[in-house]
């Protein structure tokens, strides 16, 4: 009898151990691999396609990580305040908006988005509007979300944010400062549909030097130090 119990327990323990390995394997497979010169496959193609969409890569999307891909990755990293090592690790995957999806998705104005997108939106709000009132922070987030609905801009939050030279805080690294709770709150409010910008697609501080072109846009409102325009 004791032998049977021991065998049963041992069999159960083996099942638990095997289940644990399967779970760990599943978690590992959900992570994007680190890509570098010489890597090949669908993950390289995904990176090439995203870099091509954003104007950093002009080569063929062939799934081969060679010199032109490495240079494009470095340009993207340099433009967005990352270590320009030409290697696609977790930070670069996140910046490209191609990270493995979170287990619990959020919803943004009818479009699925991950927790990483909320954090990314909050980072740009922090970088662009740290000294603005809460309403002004929400308005900056709303502009980014409004762009995802416009045919003139990329369709994702990360795509809008990482367009070359789209946001000063990405170029100068201010978006990578520690997040405040108010910026996180503002990002959540914008994602939930609050838009004090009145549907604006652009914002700027009129007291600072900006491109003369932007003054051709129709100004909708002013909140704090920023004007918002379509």
State both tokens at 64: 């081969």
Using one digit for the tens of pLDDT, what is the confidence trace for 145-185? 999 999 999 989 999 999 998 999 998 999 988 999 999 99
pLDDT band at 30 (very low <50, low <70, confident <90, very high): low
pLDDT band at 10 (very low <50, low <70, confident <90, very high): very low
pLDDT band at 73 (very low <50, low <70, confident <90, very high): very high
Q: How far apart are the first and last CA of the chain?
A: 80
Do 115-229 and 42-96 fall under one CATH topology? no
Q: What is the mean pLDDT of residues 105-132?
A: 72
The residue extents of the domains of the chain are 1-30, 42-96, 115-229
Q: What is the mean pLDDT of residues 16-34?
A: 50
Q: Which CATH superfamily is domain 115-229 in?
A: Cell wall hydrolase SleB, domain 1 (1.10.10.2520)
Using one digit for the tens of pLDDT, what is the confidence trace for 84-104? 999 999 889 888 877 654 433
pLDDT band at 111 (very low <50, low <70, confident <90, very high): very low
Burial class (CB in 10 A: 0-12, 13-18, 19+), 52: middle
Q: What is the pLDDT of residue 101?
A: 46
DSSP-assigned states of every residue in the chain: -HHHHHHHHHHHHHHHHHHHHHHHHHHHHTSPPPB-TT-BSHHHHHHHHHHHHTTS--S---SB--HHHHHHHHHHHHHTTS--SS-B-HHHHHHHT-PPPPSS-EEETTEEE-HHHHHHHHHHHHHHHTTS-HHHHHHHHHHHHHHHTSTTS-SSHHHHHTSTTS-HHHHHSGGGSPPPHHHHHHHHHHHTT--TTSS-SEEE-TTS---GGGGGS-EEEEETTEEEE-
pLDDT of 186 > 70? The answer is: yes
Q: What is the pLDDT of residue 82?
A: 83
CATH topology assigned to domain 42-96: Muramoyl-pentapeptide Carboxypeptidase; domain 1 (1.10.101)
Q: What is the mean pLDDT of residues 35-44?
A: 91
């Amino acid at each position: 009898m004791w032998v049977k119990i021991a065998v049963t327990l041992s069999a159960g323990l083996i099942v638990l151990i095997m289940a644990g390995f399967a779970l760990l394997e599943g978690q590992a497979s959900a992570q994007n691999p680190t890509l570098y010169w010489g890597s090949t496959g669908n993950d390289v193609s995904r990176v090439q396609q995203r870099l091509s969409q954003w104007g950093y890569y002009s080569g063929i999307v062939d799934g081969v990580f060679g010199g032109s891909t490495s240079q494009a990755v470095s340009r993207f990293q340099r433009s967005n305040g990352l270590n320009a090592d030409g290697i696609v690790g977790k930070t670069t995957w996140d910046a490209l908006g191609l990270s493995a999806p979170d287990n619990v998705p959020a919803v943004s104005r009818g479009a699925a988005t991950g927790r990483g997108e909320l954090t990314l939106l909050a980072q740009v709000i922090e970088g662009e509007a740290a000294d603005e009132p809460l309403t002004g922070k929400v308005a900056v987030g709303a502009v980014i979300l409004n762009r995802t609905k416009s045919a003139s801009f990329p369709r994702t939050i990360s795509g809008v944010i990482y367009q070359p030279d789209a946001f000063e805080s990405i170029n100068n690294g201010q978006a990578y400062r520690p997040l405040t709770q108010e910026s996180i709150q503002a990002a959540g409010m914008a994602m939930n549909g609050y838009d004090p910008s009145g549907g604006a697609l652009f914002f700027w501080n009129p007291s600072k030097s900006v491109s003369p072109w932007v003054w051709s846009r129709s100004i909708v409102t002013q909140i704090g130090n920023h004007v918002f325009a379509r």
